[in-house]
Amino acid sequence: MYTKTIILCINILIFSAVSSICQQIPDVFNNNDYAVQNLQYSKEMGHEKNKISRNKLTPLRIAPLLMQNILHTTINCSLDINLKNLASNCWLEREKILVEMVRGEKEWANKFEDSHGVDLSGTLLGRKGSFGEYDQCKSISANVSFNGVNEKWNGFYSLLSFEGLRPDTLKFDSLTIGFCLAPKCRKFVENTPNFTISDKSCTNIGNGRFILEETLTPLKDDKSSIGGIIFFSIFGLFLIIATILDNYLDFYRKKNEKWTKGILLRIILPFSLNRNVKELLKDSPATDSLKVIHGLRAITVTWMVLLHTYVLYLPIGSRLSSCYVQIVQKLFKSIIHFLADIASFFKMMKTFTFQSIINGQIGVDTFFVLSGFLTVRSFLKNMKKTNNHLPVKKMINHFVHRIWRILPLYAAVLCFYASFYKRIRLGPLNSVVNDIELCKRYWWRNILFISNLFPITETVSHFHI
């Protein structure tokens, strides 16, 4: 008797909880405007910000409702019947996830909701979004009974860039949020790259876009990836052969010291891992090296790491103007957003310790100066050996040797980036920072060292200097 009573009470509690959740979901089919109310301030309350509490303007209330606002607008305002159906299916799918999450029986439902980038704390201080849990979303795989049909649900990650926020309140006008979607919502997102958010009268109060992950071409059809794999496989095999040969010659040399290197050995042995590791790890400087050069390199590298820590807030993925002044302006603007207050920015500018950040754009020039200095020093040493007379042939050989020292490794990095780097990188920014196509198109400019003569919009971000 008592057991049945307890079970009945538990069922009533579960039913009440599910009903409560369902009541909080806007009835989009009846044009309920609950979900849009949190975004309404963007257009209608622009002149009444003094009457609205600051808490009502925080994006913490926007993030959980953003997707249902988009679905609400599509279902009630779109003229595309196909999009309406896709949005309706996505809505029912999200409702299914919420119900299963409340019941607490399906771990996959909790993972879906937990993977959204809803943690937007610190937005008023310059944080421009939340990526959510990328790896957790991609790991979701579940068999779900949906509308009487058993379906395979896999997590689909997408970024959502929303515009329509008040810049005078949040210091910027857009947010980027990561969402973890199920199959029906994936179809909706793929068919709606750009979206709008409207009120119940279908008046636009905001817009944005979905940023989808790039769909990789199957490896068997991807010629660039196959070419890269073949190249680096041959290179790896070459390293192994050179290392084995070097070890054999060391053993042979101990028994018979009378042996000479042929041309083939001189070409192969520099690739030996033994020799290169010893060269990299030796702590004794060369007899004619300048120790101050090593100190300048170490200090400059530390400076660059510090600078890029602050520049992390630079708008991700945007192609900067070729005008140097605009690049610096964007740098300063990003720091202002980070500090959230222009007054705080100018106050920090006056501090001595912040000068390294303000003047950080010239930090890379140290490496340019060092490179030129070492080239001239080497050139003058060669002239001294020939009594200040250097034939044209030797002069050309000197510069060719200098380029040859840089070019192979530089070309290998370009090849790696353009061929199969896209197949090994993981993370929410895969679809945002994407210069691979630029690298495939303009790699020859880098090989010829003329990339700096072209607009920065046509250069790969890693090699634009």
Where does 39-149 have alpha helices with state H? 41-44, 66-77, 81-103, 107-114, 134-138
- Cβ atoms of 82 and 191 closer than 8 Å: yes
Question: What's the pLDDT band for 71 if we cut at 50, 70, 90?
Answer: confident
* pLDDT tops 60 at residue 430: yes
Q: Indicate if 397 and 418 belong to the same structural domain.
A: yes
CA distance 61 to 63: 6
Angle between helices 81-103 and 107-114 (to 10 degrees): 120
Tally Cβ neighbours within 10 Å of residue 32.
15
Question: What's the pLDDT band for 119 if we cut at 50, 70, 90?
Answer: low
Calculate mean pLDDT across residues 261-267.
78
- Cβ atoms of 83 and 73 closer than 8 Å: no
Q: Indicate if 222 and 325 belong to the same structural domain.
A: no
Pairing of β 174-181 and β 129-130: parallel
| Domain finish residue from 212, 230, 246 | 212
Calculate mean pLDDT across residues 439-444.
87
147 domain residue, yes or no: yes
Calculate mean pLDDT across residues 368-389.
82
38 domain residue, yes or no: yes
50 domain residue, yes or no: no
- Tell the residue number behind the tokens 């090989």, with chain if given: 447
Report the mean per-residue pLDDT for the chain: 72
Q: Supply the pLDDT for residue 39.
A: 36
Q: Indicate if 223 and 190 belong to the same structural domain.
A: no
165 domain residue, yes or no: yes
Q: Supply the pLDDT for residue 53.
A: 35
Q: Supply the pLDDT for residue 330.
A: 47
Q: Indicate if 257 and 378 belong to the same structural domain.
A: no
Residues found in the chain: 465
Going by C-beta distance under 8 Å and a sequence separation of 6 or more, which residues neighbour residue 40?
199, 205
371 domain residue, yes or no: yes
CA distance 177 to 166: 17
Q: Indicate if 208 and 223 belong to the same structural domain.
A: no
Token representation of residue 196: 């709008």
Task: List pLDDT tens digits, range 312-350.
Answer: 444 333 333 333 344 444 445 444 444 444 456 667 777
92 domain residue, yes or no: yes
Q: Indicate if 137 and 16 belong to the same structural domain.
A: yes
Phi, psi at 35, each rounded to 5° = -70, -25
Q: Supply the pLDDT for residue 94.
A: 84
* pLDDT tops 60 at residue 458: yes
Angle between helices 81-103 and 66-77 (to 10 degrees): 140
Going by C-beta distance under 8 Å and a sequence separation of 6 or more, which residues neighbour residue 95?
22, 25
Calculate mean pLDDT across residues 179-190.
87
Q: Indicate if 308 and 403 belong to the same structural domain.
A: yes
Q: Indicate if 82 and 114 belong to the same structural domain.
A: yes
Question: What's the pLDDT band for 31 if we cut at 50, 70, 90?
Answer: very low
- Tell the residue number behind the tokens 């279908």, with chain if given: 202
Q: Indicate if 119 and 139 belong to the same structural domain.
A: yes
Instruction: Say which amino acid occupies 458.
Output: E
Phi, psi at 132, each rounded to 5° = 75, -160
Question: What's the pLDDT band for 19 if we cut at 50, 70, 90?
Answer: very low
Calculate mean pLDDT across residues 79-99.
85
| Domain finish residue from 263, 284, 305 | 284
Percent of all residues in the chain with a pLDDT value above 70, rounded to a whole number = 69
Task: List pLDDT tens digits, range 389-405.
Answer: 777 777 788 788 888 88
- Cβ atoms of 172 and 337 closer than 8 Å: yes
- Cβ atoms of 117 and 177 closer than 8 Å: yes
| Domain finish residue from 234, 250, 284 | 284
Number of domains in the chain: 3
Containing domain of residue 344, as a range? 291-463
- Cβ atoms of 451 and 459 closer than 8 Å: yes
Calculate mean pLDDT across residues 3-18.
45
441 domain residue, yes or no: yes
Q: Give me the half-sphere count of Cα atoms (radius 13 Å) on the Cβ side of residue 151.
A: 13
49 domain residue, yes or no: no
* pLDDT tops 50 at residue 61: no
3-state secondary structure of 435: coil
Task: Give which of 73, 44, 70 is closest to 57, Cα–Cα.
Answer: 44
- From first CA to last CA, the distance across the chain in angstroms is 80
- Cβ atoms of 166 and 47 closer than 8 Å: no
Q: Indicate if 149 and 271 belong to the same structural domain.
A: no
- Exposure class string for 194-230: b at 16+ Cβ within 10 A, else e: ebbbbbeeeeebbebebbbeeeeeeeeebebbeebee
Question: What's the pLDDT band for 169 if we cut at 50, 70, 90?
Answer: very low
Q: Supply the pLDDT for residue 240.
A: 92
Q: Indicate if 251 and 112 belong to the same structural domain.
A: no
3-state secondary structure of 195: strand
Calculate mean pLDDT across residues 363-369.
86
